[in-house]
A and B are shown apart, each in its own frame.
Chain A
């Protein structure tokens, strides 16, 4: 039998064809994942040079060791042969390889199980995204609606949730938030006073720093700062809690018991925030004014009593009410976005992370938008 060797050979692989229709793949040396082997593409080129090929054989007499690397190679050859209706004889391979291959091919690939890697063209993708936005807006409205229904139940005294839960949430979103609210509000007050001081000093009107800080904090900044802090702190907390409950089927367990997750989980969280946000807002106002005072006293050499008197003179109840309305609104927004994302959460660990991110983003964006809308409304109403 004349053995005509083909060019593409390597240290692990030799191809030969005893006649023009048959190809023998000689496997030699060590076929393991760790060793460097000839790429399948090289063999392929060798195969393509034989147009009349109808049978491929293996010869493993020189093989010293093998693992899954050899199996993947044989599977590739098999795929190539299937595509071209070439017979493949596996008899030349070691018995173990043959049995494993048999096992790998025992269950046929499930039709449609493989995920489509195909990339959609631009317009269908835009369309799909638009439909998603539409659907998610619908979900949001449905959630809002059922939150209102749950609130109605609460007013009728029929909502079912645990008082101890409410107390716990009040504590978590109230007292325990004091630290970070103090820090951020004092710093914001400081920054306002600094910026104001630079401008006002040129006119010798330092004392108006007190008005600037006082009005800004009380009217809007106290509420916005408290809102953004709570969106990051408590909104994320709610989303992660509810998301994990979703993953553990805990929300299903409530639903099948006929307990509305809206009343049992969302309502106490929302009430806690609606109750606590205005209090936090007032606290943030005071801390902000304190920050302004620090700058006024240390940098502008103002007398603290004079500073506070000026603040008092600039203070009016309308501004305080406006601040409180903002903050109550933010309480609703933060609780709803946190709970909405938590309840929408998928059933995996990464979904909980996504839900948390999305809750904070939704919360902060909604806070800013609500601030803008309310500000316009207040200016139209001339208050």
Chain B
């Protein structure tokens, strides 16, 4: 990898609901081409942090910069422009249930490109084939299994070849082999397209296999207690809760 180039910079971020602070004082940098893991125990605010990073939820205080632009200080047009470069895979897939898989993947393309119908169709087939769903174009989300829905969601997230892909628990609900294939796909996309990934997960296998940067959110102290390469954290971290998390409770605590 070349010189590290910061893509997302999070500065003094506090988040919560109303007057309730869920997590305070977050500072971290996601570089271009990183596979950045957000990890932590249940209820520590991982998903909330993801929501905030994709622009769905406003922080209580602090800033998030994308390529140097502060998201929450930018105007709505600028925000839209930034968000257009995101691809997001939701926990349950969040496919639009009134549309077929092909239509789901086609919507972003119809919205933001001037491709013809036929070109869009070709691209949709390619994206679906990439996630192993070739031939499922005309199925509705309710007609396929949960794992397939998730993969279709990934195809939609990849439709516009985004700069940053956000994943909310990608391997939850997938069988081990599919989860492994998804990890391989993530690595492949990173290497071939240079996509940055932000992944919320507590699947240890995935964390060590794909992550090269991370942040650990601690429930008790309500802040981040570790950050960096998860493999290095496993080797060097002194924090007992981080150690316990990374070793499935075998060490630490």
| Interface residues in chain B, defined as those with a beta carbon under 8 Å from any beta carbon in chain A | 51, 54-56, 80, 83-84, 86, 88, 90-92, 94-98, 107-108, 111-112, 156
Question: Which residues from chain B contact A160 at a C-beta distance below 8 Å?
Answer: 111
Contacts of B156 in A (CB 8 A): 253
**Cross-chain pairs A/B with CB under 8 angstroms, 16 sampled:** A241-B98, A244-B97, A248-B95, A249-B94, A250-B94, A250-B96, A252-B51, A253-B90, A253-B156, A254-B96, A256-B55, A256-B56, A256-B83, A256-B88, A257-B83, A259-B111
| Chain B residues closer than 8 Å to A258, beta-carbon distance | 80, 83-84, 111-112
Cβ of A66 to closest chain B Cβ, rounded Å: 28
Contacting pair A257 B91 (CB below 8 A): no
CB distance from B160 to the nearest CB of A (A): 9
> What chain B residues lie within 8 Å of A250 (beta carbons)?
94-97
Q: Is the interface of B mostly helix, strand, loop or mixed?
A: loop
Query: Does B55 contact A257, Cβ atoms closer than 8 Å?
Result: no
A255 sits at the interface (CB 8 A): yes
Place the interface of chain A in its size category: 10 to 19
A253 pairs with B88, CB closer than 8 A: yes
Q: Tell me how far the C-beta of B103 lies from the nearest C-beta in chain A, rounded to whole angstroms.
A: 9
**A256 interface neighbour in B86, B92, B112, Cβ under 8 Å:** B86
Question: In the complex, are the beta carbons of A252 and B83 less than 8 A apart?
Answer: no
Given the complex, which residues of A lie within 8 Å of B97, measured CB to CB?
A: 244-245, 248, 250
Cβ-defined contact, B88 with A248, below 8 A: no
CB distance from A20 to the nearest CB of B (A): 42
Question: In the assembled complex, which residues on chain B have CB atoms less than 8 Å from the CB atom of A244?
Answer: 97
**A249-B90, A252-B90 given. 9 additional CB < 8 A pairs?**
A245-B96, A248-B95, A249-B91, A250-B97, A252-B94, A256-B56, A256-B86, A257-B108, A258-B84
CB distance from A238 to the nearest CB of B (A): 13
How far apart sit A74 and B14, CA to CA, in the bound complex (Å)? 42
Q: With both chains docked as a complex, state the minimum distance between the C-beta of B183 and any C-beta of chain A, in angstroms.
A: 23
A257 pairs with B107, CB closer than 8 A: yes
Would you call A252 and B80 a contact (CB within 8 A)? no
Among B86, B90, B94, B95, the one with the most A-chain Cβ atoms within 10 Å of its Cβ is B94
Check B84 against A249 for contact (C-beta < 8 Å). Answer: no
Q: Which residues of B contact A252 (CB under 8 A)?
A: 51, 56, 90, 94
Which residues, 244 to 290 on A, are CB-close (under 8 Å) to B?
244-245, 248-250, 252-259
When C-beta atoms are compared, the residue in chain A nearest to B160 turns out to be A257
- Is B55 in contact with A249, judged by CB distance below 8 angstroms? no
CA–CA, A259 and B55, complex, Å? 13
Task: Select from chain B the residue with minimum beta-carbon distance to A253.
Answer: B94
Q: How far apart are A83's CB and chain B's nearest CB, in angstroms?
A: 26
For the complex of A and B, 10 pairs with smallest distance between CB atoms: A249-B94, A253-B94, A258-B80, A249-B90, A258-B84, A258-B83, A256-B88, A256-B54, A250-B94, A250-B96
- A250 to B88 alpha-carbon distance, docked (Å): 11
Contact of B94 (CB < 8 Å), options: A241, A248, A259: A248
CB distance A253 to B96 under 8 Å?
yes
Q: How far is the CA of A257 from the CA of B85 in the complex (A)?
A: 9
Nearest A residue to B84, CB-CB: A258
CB distance from B126 to the nearest CB of A (A): 19
Please determine whether B107 and A248 come into contact, CB atoms closer than 8 angstroms: no
Contact partner, A257, options B51, B95, B98, B111, Cβ 8 Å: B111
Q: Which chain A residues border B56 with CB–CB below 8 Å? A: 252, 255-256
**Residues in A neighbouring B83, C-beta threshold 8 A:** 256-258
| CB-nearest residue of chain A to B81 | A258
Partner of A249, one of B80, B92, B112: B92
Distance, CA A255 to CA B58, complexed state (A): 14
